[in-house]
Chain A
Amino acid sequence: MGGLARRAGFIESMRTKAEKGVVRLFVAGPFELAAPDGGKVPAMRAPGAVARAHAAMRYDAMLLTPADLALVGDSAPKGLARWTTAPMQVKGEILVRSGLRIAFVRFPMPTGTDGRPTEQQTREVVAEGFHLRGEADVVIGISPWGVSAEQAFLGHFSGSAQPFDVLLGGGPGPGHGGKMAAGGFTAWLRPYAQGKTVHVIRLENIPKRQRQAQAKREVDVRFDVVSLDDKISADQVVDALLAPARASN
């Protein structure tokens, strides 16, 4: 639980650290509360407190799976309310920050065999991504599909046009520190297990990226991983919110 308070402290420090020409977004992907394999997780001890802690982080975008929502329960805190519709259909939206138009596409929960997305779901995600690409400077996907389905999805696009600049993955399968996929077009990231790190993707020169839509652009993307160790100060408000979770240990 200490990791969540440190995460909040780190997020707040980055949110308030101004850097000219840099837009910062804070995004929480699938299985922040529940485990991808349905196993026991610390949030089960005091799910309400953990939900309030996540709400306090004021994410710019979030994807809560049905398993996460089952822990949040019917009384989601105000800050999470906008994310409490289970992602059963693809859903896109555009945020505008400092003139930058950023599209998010929340992938639906996979309903195919073996927990994989159906072809129809894949087609709908691609169509929504292309639709938003026409309106946004950057298109970002958030996926609960797991490593195999995400890799297969990105593999479809090697050498051909595809809509996503960034794919933020999650769910079954291992994490990695970030890699270029889909023929060098898409920055793909899957955090390490159990939320003890914050992963960072930095995209440089956004308009240039758009004009070079089909070029390999590894040089424009930087990945970083921040460990939430004792060098990061915990957010005192979130730390206090998590007191019930610690008390039930």
Chain B
Amino acid sequence: MTRGLLTILVLLAILPGPANAGQALEIYYTSNTNGEYAPCPT
């Protein structure tokens, strides 16, 4: 029983996750605004 559980845990650790697991998304954005420059977001 314990050996079976250990086997499952090992398999879960080494099998690949979903295609997007741990992915990062970088968005590069440009646009236009007007008004005073606000250098320090609060």
Q: Which positions in A face B, CB cutoff 8 Å?
A: 7, 11, 14, 21-32, 34-37, 98-102, 137-138, 140, 147, 166, 168-179, 189-195, 197-208, 223
**B32 lies within 8 A of A30 (CB):** yes
Pairs of residues from A and B, 5 with the lowest C-beta to C-beta distance, nearest first: A29-B31, A99-B19, A174-B35, A170-B31, A31-B32
Q: A174-B33, A190-B33, A191-B32 are in contact. Are A201 and B42 (CB under 8 A)?
A: no
Verify A173–B34 contact, CB threshold 8 A. yes
Contacts of A195 in B (CB 8 A): 30-32
Which of chain A's residues have a CB closer than 8 A to the CB of B25? 22-25, 100, 102, 138, 202-203, 206
User: In the assembly, what is the distance between CA of A159 and CA of B16, in Å?
Assistant: 35
Give every chain B residue within 8 A of A7 (Cβ-Cβ). 30
Q: Which residue of A169, A177, A202 contacts B24 across the interface (Cβ within 8 Å)?
A: A202
Shortest Cβ gap from B32 to chain A (Å): 4
Is A179 touching B41 in the complex (CB atoms < 8 A)? yes
Contact of B34 among A32, A137, A193 (CB under 8 A): A193
CB pair A191–B30 under 8 Å, yes or no, is: yes
The chain B residues found within 8 Å of chain A, CB to CB, are 18-42
Min CB distance B23 to A, Å, is 5
> In this complex, what residue of B is CB-closest to A166?
B27
- Also in contact, A100 and B20, with CB within 8 A (given A26-B28, A200-B26, A206-B25): yes
A37, A170, A207: the one contacting B22 at CB < 8 Å is A207
Min CB gap A238→B, angstroms: 14
- Supply 20 A–B pairs (Cβ within 8 Å), ascending by A: A11-B28, A22-B23, A22-B26, A24-B25, A24-B26, A27-B29, A31-B33, A35-B34, A36-B32, A99-B19, A99-B20, A99-B23, A137-B20, A175-B37, A177-B40, A190-B31, A193-B33, A195-B32, A203-B24, A207-B20
Are B29 and A200 in contact, with the CB atoms below 8 A?
Answer: yes
**B41 near A177: Cβ-Cβ < 8 Å:** yes
Q: Say yes or no: A199 contacts B35, CB within 8 Å.
A: no
Complex Cα distance A204/B36, Å?
Answer: 31
Q: Are B27 and A27 in contact (CB under 8 A)?
A: yes
- Nearest chain B CB to A85's CB is how many angstroms away? 18
CA distance A197 to B29 in the complex (A): 9
CA distance A204 to B24 in the complex (A): 4
- Is B32 a contact of A194 with CB atoms below 8 Å? yes
In the complex, what distance in Å separates the CA atom of A147 from the CA atom of B41?
13
Contacts of A170 in B (CB 8 A): 31-33
A-side contacts of B34, CB under 8 Å:
35-37, 172-174, 193
